[in-house]
Structure 1
């Protein structure tokens, strides 16, 4: 019986099955050994690096931006120490449960934090997410007190921009802000990443690569919970390069004061070099609001302001230049040989092409020598009729009207100079001869910016030499970068236009008479060779004005372009006072700026004179010789 059971058991486990099981076990052992060999031998270096990365964290050290000074080295833009909070995504963990605590400690809402997380969801995992900038002391204390519960929070010391108060020179200097998603798609920002702070406007934008610097980092040792327990090394950041602007702080302050409480722009330039000495646009904004995360309330406030505080009116306002355009009309008429012998009887206006065009006064007999200081519309109606639109356009575009000047600031406007070709291209219609009458006094379709008028009229006062405006002093950046600026901000640049000496003298002498007995006589500066031209430009037609019912916004714009001295000037000032009424009002603002410049130059000259007149100190040899001289009675 037992033998039968044993025989049955042997029949159940056949040698073939036993061998198969042995082969399977052996194969599994081979696979396991191969896996161990791959992990511990082949991939040992790779896993060693990964383990090291889990142990070592790279903490960025932000480079401070370069400071900005005026032409004399006086500080305009500085940096201040700030602490920001970042969210670390290595090691990965679920933060949802921590969000309420984080939001409460950082004085944020959970929705705000989730918005930030969504914005950076596609960023590399090694890149920390900026949660909040410029932390308060209690927010820093919250992070330090909760290191164990919230190891994903990290604080970083940063340098943030500190701009002058009150929006001083805001449009010239610009502001910085966190790079946007749209910017990241541009070639200019190919080497930037989300969270970087970049220049957004003004000098900050144009010279961002110079001011930016290079960030550093430090390698810290962390434990399994992400807490810092040591430091391995540090790569120091390279600070950005400081820049000296061409503006003169004293002249800038005078321009800021002159335009305070008004809407418009003032720009002052050195016609010899093209250096901008002052640039003011009103209303302004506070760039310090952009240095940290911009609040929705402040952005909506400036965005909905009808006077457009974000617009740099010195280079972006495109408005009818009014009677300041009469200088260009005079230039065209004289160079064409038409204006020299032209005499007009002004009886309060004139009839042209069947329509009566008014002048503000009955000037009587007018020639070119009186037309500029008296600003007689009738004279320039007649001159425009004789020259016709394409001749006027030729000379206006020659001095830069309807062209960018090439100033090294973003978003310069081009303006408009009408012509037969211009109207055909833009309106698919022919030019009618009667349209030229309004153009003759700087109205109609003519549009210019203050910087264009400043450059054009200073060029004519300099014998036809037009310089390219720029806002930093020469010699501070490499030739390669300088060429990149020229290529980026292309414009009419430097040029010499034809201007006969006798015509140059007629124009500049007549502009000087404007400040003596003409339309800007109230702004005369005693003892100063001050020349210029006023302009009053309507903001709407007489029919539209009648329908509007009046109001401040219907008052004409006031213009003034002035310079000293009258020929080859050292400074030119262009003033736009929106709804400022008569150009004589704008002339008073320009006179304040010019007077500040002149007084400063006189003071410098007086100090140099005192130095030159001071007795030269005796040398040691001369003193010794005096001691050896015999005493005589």
Structure 2
């Protein structure tokens, strides 16, 4: 029975069956594989669905930015200062580049067609290496018609190149008002690390100086975008939608174009600065600085050659001397000395006999002339150093510092332009803090005539003397009308530019009237008599600040880089003036000959325009500047400090 064929089949069938343990193991493996597969499907189709959907869309849809045009800048009368012009930018699609190596024929062709080098192309690609690969990279801005034709002719060969119409900044030529307006440029990597630029991305255009920087948030607008459909080669085949760009807001500046042009013309061929301000409101009517630069060179892509040229220029063309030059004020400081002397009841009855100088603490301090008997009434027109040496000695450095500081010296004014300097007003506490040394009484003598360690900026000097002529009321200087700025940004901008701002330092009426009368006499019979203008109530004060001590050279103005700086501050009318003008001519020599005529030109432009607007046809004649190298009658030459107490100030004697 056991050997029958049927039994053999049954036995064989039982031997082919798996053992129960192996069967269970196989089932567990199959189940585990199914779980892994189901988990992967769940991750792909449920958990990561939105992410993979975006990636898929990115392969089909590209977001192309539409840059917002920056707001235009106008002068106070609505005349345009800064405009925009249509431009074309070439973008490169990094994801479409087949070979980005240095020997790539592809990059060589691109570089040749766009007048670049392969190294420049690779440098741009490296600069944007952290940006998403699907975002277009600006390869070259403001491309020429020939370069546009090259891109169009090689569309099939170079699918990674695209063009886009944009708006670019157009600034006045010849550096006109460049330090006031500023310039724009691409946001730098260092700026991107600053939290103030958290909303910016690589390649964004941002204000880098002047009004462009201060009011960037107002001017830049909001960029839009277009969602375009692209094919497998990355070329546009359709459009899904768009968000329109919101143009930046236009701004009206306080600048008067006519007065600005007069200031620019007056400074032509000279190094220095001119500031014209309405002391009633703090509105800047003109602000010019020389040497200047071309902001149009920054508006597209700054070349290394031009950047190297301007940063290595010993004249520092990027320096806004109107708010950043910190120099000894020379005899213009005597107006502040007069305020201190009168308010302290020291100067009223003080009378000195000027015999060409005076001796203090064993050192002889020279005056430019033998003025004879001098009191406060003729000390300003004559600019008598001997009188102010004596006054400084009687007041002491801390009393002088108290009044100078109250009038804004050694403090930023708070003007709405970046990088304003504060200047220096020495005192016993200042020297102890900065030099860890006591103040010597002999050091006070030179401070009395605006030398020594005291330094000011032109904007400080204009504000201080305008405030004195207004009875002590001083306004915060500004170059944009406050109502032009949205209220939510107005406070933030004010906080970003701290300074003494608006303040009042009430002066005794007889005192500031005496001072302004004496300043008016300066332009009639005093050191600025050469620029007297009939039919204009023109008041002012000259200043000549030496750069080297007379102990080390001949008495006079010096020569070359050691030639004295020339200052002048003038105003119209003499009391509660409508305009105050501060002029600095570096190495200009005597203030009466070098700076006063420039201020007269600016003031004449202001008065003539105002009279025409008021239908008043009386026009003043401005005397032409004289090339004489000798001082105007009575012009004081700043005397040196004793060598033992010589200060390290850049404007010190």
TM-score by length of 2: 0.88
Q: Distance in 1 between matches of 2:218 and 2:598?
A: 35
> Which of the numbers 63, 81, 93 marks the counterpart of 1:58?
63
Task: Give the conservation status (yes or no) of the 8 Å contact 2:58–2:134.
Answer: no
Hey, what does 1:599 align to over in structure 2? Answer: 608
Shift of 1:22: 7.9
Equivalent residue in structure 2 for 1:187, among 168, 180, 195: 195
Indicate yes or no: 2:76 matched with 1:87: no
What is the number of equivalent residue pairs in this alignment?
608
- Aligned 8 A contact 2:183 2:212 in 1: yes
Q: How big is the shift at 1:40?
A: 5.6
Deviation at 1:465, TM superposition (A): 0.5
SS across alignment from 2:483: coil
Q: Is the 8 A contact 1:536 1:559 kept in 2?
A: yes
Distance 1:436 1:56, change over 3 A: same
2:571 paired with 1:566:
no
Deviation of residue 154 (structure 1)?
2.1
On the 8 A contact 1:244/1:473 being kept in 2, the answer is yes
Asked if 1:586 corresponds to 2:589, the answer is no
Q: Aligned partners of 1:35 and 1:336: how far apart in 2?
A: 89
SS in 2 for 1:267: strand
Aligned CA distance change for structure 1 residues 480 and 544 (closer, same or farther; 3 Å):
farther
Query: Residue by residue, what CA displacement relative to the aligned partner does 1:207-239 show, whole Å, maximum 9, x if unpaired?
Result: 000000000011111111111111111111000
Q: State the 1:92 CA deviation.
A: 7.7
Q: Is the 8 A contact 2:466 2:474 kept in 1?
A: yes
Shift of 1:83: 1.1
Partner of 1:626: none
Listed as ranges, the gaps of 5+ residues in structure 1 are 610-633
Residues in 2 aligned to 1:23 and 1:495: alpha-carbon distance in whole angstroms: 86
Distance in structure 2 (CA, Å) of the matches to 1:160 and 1:406: 30
**Matches of 2:395 and 2:45, distance apart in 1:** 91
The Cα of 1:104 is off from its aligned counterpart by: 1.5
- 1:364-513 residue pairs with structure 2 within 5 A? 364-513=372-521
**1:28: how far off?**
5.1
Change (3 A) 1:13 1:101: farther
SS at the partner of 1:606?
coil
Q: CA deviation at 1:139?
A: 1.5
Cα distance, 1:493 vs structure 2: 0.8
- Greater mean deviation of Cα atoms: 37-46 or 247-256: 37-46
What root-mean-square deviation, in Å, do the aligned CA atoms of Structure 1 and Structure 2 show? Answer: 2.6
Q: How big is the shift at 1:538? A: 0.4
- 1:37/1:93 Cα in 2 relative to 1: closer, same or farther (>3 Å)? farther
Q: CA deviation at 1:123?
A: 2.4
Determine the C-alpha separation between the residues in 1 that align with 2:421 and 2:252: 25
Matched-pair contact (CA < 8 Å) for 1:423–1:429: yes
TM-score normalized by structure 1?
0.91
Q: How far off its partner does 1:328 sit?
A: 0.3
Deviations 1:70-126 (A, max 9, x none): 000000000011111222234685543422222112111111111122222122334
Question: C-alpha distance in 1, partners of 2:353/2:601?
Answer: 35
Cα distance change of structure 1 residues 551 and 508 upon mapping to structure 2, 3 Å threshold:
closer
Q: Name the SS for the 2:536 alignment partner.
A: coil
Q: Does 1:74 align with 2:79?
A: yes
Structure 2 unaligned residues grouped into runs of 5+: 619-653
Native 8 Å contact 1:281 1:312 kept in 2: yes
Q: Secondary structure at the match of 1:400?
A: coil
Shift of 1:424: 0.3
Residue 47 of structure 1, CA deviation = 3.8
